[in-house]
Chains A and B, each alone.
Chain A
Amino acid sequence: MVERYVMSIDQGTTSTRCILFDHRGRLVSVAQREHQQFFPKPGWVEHDALEIWRNLRRIVPEALSGAGDGVAAEAVSALGIANQRETTVLWDRRTGTPLSRAIVWQDTRTAPLVEDLRSDPGDAFFLERCGLAPSTYFSAPRIRWLFDHTPGLTQRAANGDILFGTMESWLIWNLTGGTAGGRHITDVTNASRTMLMNMATLAWDEELLGFFGIPHAILPEIRSSAEWYGEDRSVLPGRPITAALGDQQAALFGQTCFSPGEAKCTYGTGSFLLLNTGTDVVRSSNGLLTTVAYKLDEQPAVYALEGPIAVTGALVQWFRDRLELISSAPGIETLARTVEDNGGCYIVPAFSGLFAPHWRSDARGVIVGLTSYITKGHLARAALESTGWQTKEVVDAMNADSSLTLRELKVDGGMTSDNLLMQILADVLDVPVVRPMAAETVSLGAAYAAGLAAGYWADLEVLRGNWHRAAQWLPDMDPTRRASEYENWQRAVERSLGWIRPSNGP
């Protein structure tokens, strides 16, 4: 019998990866290609959607041939996609050509529009419908911006010539035939990040569409995260495409956080903590986002509270590339271990404001508590601690918003190789921190969802059985010290707020 695999595509911010997984969720082969980042103006970030599609067509055969003696396309049971969220592309239905470069989630060009929306009609109008307060982070303001800055677009959209999508829609449309009958669909998790989907009905919200002036005709059909979307007609002819999830939701799924109260945090450039809240829509009153975690076929949607943190690993990169205090990112641990503690020094890395739970775009980074005693070792330790305290702020907000108290944090992402940081996390959160044996949780989550829909895996319990603990860190910090350090951190955060004044510009 031919051994069968599930293929996962992770269309990320800097690269696109294709990974084959076996039945036990183990990585069999991986192929990856980076794409170009375009920064045409300060605050603007763009990708070439065609380049990403070309990369995908290259890495799929590479992943197949890279697995031992090679894997035939027929041995792929199903294909699942995880993607960078909120990145927005509009393309021509008849030629398949994007109208412009994709506007990436980090792009802040819509800041003026977002400021207006927050004062009128105000956050409540949006929170009630889509669970999100206006932010440059989400897709709808970007679509509005494109309509406002592309001559003739309104007419072409009215004629039904234009399609909108986040990256999974763009890739699925191309994979299923493109101009020759490609399917224009998205999944609930990605749709939940547009600001256009009603969180309760999981359908496009007519009021929000009307408000943003976005015609229904350009929108993809909203589908479950795991169901039969169509057959591939490009790179794996005939193989079913059966899953799509936003990357952070995919990581939650890959970490098998299937029960209410289970949470994961992915530590990369930024960090994203998601807490499964079950089939209840929990509205945050503490600065968290309400988002769809996943929806399997006909089953009810499962929701999550999300706390995005803008700068965690990016602070370590800043130490490496700008301050040149370390030569490689892992070197931050070596430097931080040259001292016993932070020496009274705290760094709030509000490089472009603060995300959850503060949502303050007027904040900027501060280093406080400087004395002549402070060495670069103290700075390195303060940098790692800032990731710990920022996580604690999000966890505290989650505990306040939901009746579920976090008992354990599952972690993944590049920074989990930093043992000192993992111990700091356990210490400040006062819960065990657990790293799973499968590092590629984003890809694994998309594979799991695809494999479930295709019958490759029977149920969630089988997937739980694939999860194994690779390492665990237990809290070991005096509660009095934890409290006083947290208080110091909070005082440092206060000092970062309000640095940017309206007259200074963004």
Chain B
Amino acid sequence: MAGPVQSIERAAAILRLLAAGPRRLGLGEVAVSLGLAKGTTHGILRTLQHVDFVEQDAATGKYQLGAALLHLGTSYLDVNELRSHSINWADALAARSGEAVRLGTPLEGRVLVIHHVFRPDDTLQTLDVGALLPLHASSLGKVLLAFGTANLDSAVDAGLEAYTRHTLASADELTHALAEIRENGWGAEVQEMSMGEAGVAAPIRGHGGLAVGAIGVSGPVERICDARGRPELKLLTLLRETARAISRNLGAARW
């Protein structure tokens, strides 16, 4: 097993140093306090600033702990900001797939729909932003569970209600499915929430690859899936390209 990563140890030391004092510290003060070269210190501070763990005062150039550290346990990305970053890509996904698109984030053991693009056929449709979906029976929810954005225990605590005979209503089944979703990089829901309906979803990632939400396409099962009941490959390609584009837009480097 590899030893400790030096730069992470140093980053932790910088955070402890900034947390200890009541006042902001300059680059030189941080470097001297920890016995590090200024260049090294600067690189680490800039990275910490990039992830909002450290803030730099515009006037003095001095550093302090970032507000993001105070909210480590809660979602760091405002849902309205996530929608704003996603809106153009979500539109393009709906236009190309011909199906409705939704974005979801976790809220109290459910999936909160934070964005909805109509199926582009100009039929009467109702905006369901603000609606709540079950974590275990929706493709958005399963992706949020699989990539750690939502907590599996909270889903199980909420009760794994069987909406149809296809719903994954036991913790074992669900755990098995989530492993598969992690493996594939996408998740599907085939008649698990309502008969005749299906959906596929993929994670949206922020800094460092952390999943901050999920984007999904849904519609009648015969349009989402092929004859064998598996999601259409073309649809999956479009979906995953879209999820990657939004993730890049949010600052996730490798996706």
Residue-wise interface mask of B (109-143) relative to A, using a CB-CB cutoff of 8 A (1 in contact, 0 not): 00000001110111001010100000000000000
- For this complex, into which size category does the number of interface residues on chain A fall? 20 to 34
Q: For the complex, is A417 an interface residue (Cβ under 8 Å from B)?
A: yes
Q: For the complex, is A26 an interface residue (Cβ under 8 Å from B)?
A: yes
The reply to whether A330 and B95 contact each other, CB–CB distance below 8 Å, is: no
The reply to whether A334 and B79 contact each other, CB–CB distance below 8 Å, is: yes
Checking A329, A438, A472 against B84 with a beta-carbon cut-off of 8 angstroms, the contacting residue is A329
The reply to whether B118 and A417 contact each other, CB–CB distance below 8 Å, is: no
- On chain A, the residues within 8 Å of B91 by CB distance are 437-439, 470
Q: How far is the CB of B53 from chain A (nearest CB, A)?
A: 15
Q: For the complex, is A419 an interface residue (Cβ under 8 Å from B)?
A: yes
A26 vs B92: C-alpha distance in the bound complex, in angstroms? 7
- On chain A, the residues within 8 Å of B118 by CB distance are 437, 468-472
- On chain A, the residues within 8 Å of B18 by CB distance are none
Q: For the complex, is A418 an interface residue (Cβ under 8 Å from B)?
A: yes
The reply to whether B78 and A328 contact each other, CB–CB distance below 8 Å, is: yes
- On chain B, the residues within 8 Å of A473 by CB distance are 127
- A414's nearest neighbour on chain B, judged by CB, is B84
- For this complex, into which size category does the number of interface residues on chain B fall? 20 to 34
- B98's nearest neighbour on chain A, judged by CB, is A468
Q: Is the interface of B mostly helix, strand, loop or mixed?
A: helix
- A418's nearest neighbour on chain B, judged by CB, is B80
A330 vs B117: C-alpha distance in the bound complex, in angstroms? 18
- On chain B, the residues within 8 Å of A419 by CB distance are 80, 83, 127, 129
The reply to whether B83 and A437 contact each other, CB–CB distance below 8 Å, is: no
- On chain A, the residues within 8 Å of B127 by CB distance are 419, 471-473
The reply to whether B81 and A328 contact each other, CB–CB distance below 8 Å, is: yes
A501 vs B89: C-alpha distance in the bound complex, in angstroms? 48
- On chain B, the residues within 8 Å of A27 by CB distance are 88, 92
- On chain A, the residues within 8 Å of B121 by CB distance are 468
- Would A330 and B92 be within 8 Å (CB), given that A437-B120, A471-B116 are in contact? no
Q: How far is the CB of B11 from chain A (nearest CB, A)?
A: 23
The reply to whether B80 and A331 contact each other, CB–CB distance below 8 Å, is: yes
Q: For the complex, is A86 an interface residue (Cβ under 8 Å from B)?
A: no
Most chain A CB within 10 A, of B80, B81, B120, B129, is at B80
- On chain A, the residues within 8 Å of B80 by CB distance are 330-331, 333-334, 417-419
- On chain A, the residues within 8 Å of B92 by CB distance are 26-27
Q: How far is the CB of A474 from chain B (nearest CB, A)?
A: 9
Checking B81, B84, B94, B116 against A437 with a beta-carbon cut-off of 8 angstroms, the contacting residue is B94
- A326's nearest neighbour on chain B, judged by CB, is B78
A168 vs B88: C-alpha distance in the bound complex, in angstroms? 26
- On chain B, the residues within 8 Å of A24 by CB distance are 95
- Would A439 and B78 be within 8 Å (CB), given that A330-B83, A471-B127 are in contact? no
A367 vs B20: C-alpha distance in the bound complex, in angstroms? 41
Q: For the complex, is B46 an interface residue (Cβ under 8 Å from A)?
A: no
- On chain A, the residues within 8 Å of B84 by CB distance are 328-330, 414, 417-418
- B129's nearest neighbour on chain A, judged by CB, is A419
- Which residues from 54 to 105 on chain B have a C-beta closer than 8 Å to any C-beta of chain A? 78-81, 83-84, 87-88, 91-92, 94-96
The reply to whether A471 and B117 contact each other, CB–CB distance below 8 Å, is: yes
The reply to whether A468 and B120 contact each other, CB–CB distance below 8 Å, is: yes
The reply to whether B79 and A468 contact each other, CB–CB distance below 8 Å, is: no
- Would A468 and B122 be within 8 Å (CB), given that A26-B92, A437-B95 are in contact? yes
- On chain B, the residues within 8 Å of A26 by CB distance are 92, 95-96
A413 vs B81: C-alpha distance in the bound complex, in angstroms? 15
- On chain B, the residues within 8 Å of A469 by CB distance are 118, 120, 122, 125
Q: How far is the CB of B10 from chain A (nearest CB, A)?
A: 27
Q: How far is the CB of B67 from chain A (nearest CB, A)?
A: 8
- Would A331 and B78 be within 8 Å (CB), given that A417-B84, A469-B122 are in contact? yes
Q: How far is the CB of A236 from chain B (nearest CB, A)?
A: 24
- On chain B, the residues within 8 Å of A438 by CB distance are 91, 95
A328 vs B81: C-alpha distance in the bound complex, in angstroms? 7
Q: How far is the CB of A144 from chain B (nearest CB, A)?
A: 41
- On chain A, the residues within 8 Å of B81 by CB distance are 328, 330-331
Q: How far is the CB of B12 from chain A (nearest CB, A)?
A: 25
The reply to whether B95 and A417 contact each other, CB–CB distance below 8 Å, is: no
- B91's nearest neighbour on chain A, judged by CB, is A437
- Which residues from 290 to 310 on chain A have a C-beta closer than 8 Å to any C-beta of chain B? none
- A436's nearest neighbour on chain B, judged by CB, is B91
- On chain B, the residues within 8 Å of A330 by CB distance are 78, 80-81, 83-84
- Which residues from 134 to 183 on chain A have a C-beta closer than 8 Å to any C-beta of chain B? none
The reply to whether A439 and B94 contact each other, CB–CB distance below 8 Å, is: no
Q: How far is the CB of A9 from chain B (nearest CB, A)?
A: 19
Residue-wise interface mask of B (41-55) relative to A, using a CB-CB cutoff of 8 A (1 in contact, 0 not): 000000000000000
Q: How far is the CB of A313 from chain B (nearest CB, A)?
A: 12
Q: How far is the CB of B156 from chain A (nearest CB, A)?
A: 30
A328 vs B83: C-alpha distance in the bound complex, in angstroms? 12
Q: How far is the CB of B75 from chain A (nearest CB, A)?
A: 11
- B81's nearest neighbour on chain A, judged by CB, is A330
Q: How far is the CB of B4 from chain A (nearest CB, A)?
A: 33
A469 vs B78: C-alpha distance in the bound complex, in angstroms? 26
Q: How far is the CB of B232 from chain A (nearest CB, A)?
A: 19
Give 11 CB contacts A-B under 8 Å.
A414-B84, A419-B127, A437-B95, A439-B91, A470-B120, A471-B117, A471-B118, A471-B127, A472-B118, A472-B125, A473-B127
Which 8 pairs between the two chains have the least Cβ-Cβ distance?
A468-B120, A330-B80, A330-B84, A333-B80, A417-B84, A330-B81, A417-B87, A437-B91
Q: Which residues of A are interface residues toward B (Cβ below 8 A)?
A: 24, 26-27, 328-331, 333-334, 414, 416-419, 437-440, 468-473
Q: Which residues of B are interface residues toward A (Cβ below 8 A)?
A: 78-81, 83-84, 87-88, 91-92, 94-96, 116-118, 120-122, 125, 127, 129
Q: A417-B83, A468-B121 provided; 10 other pairs, C-beta below 8 A?
A: A328-B84, A330-B78, A437-B91, A437-B95, A437-B117, A437-B120, A468-B118, A469-B122, A471-B118, A471-B127
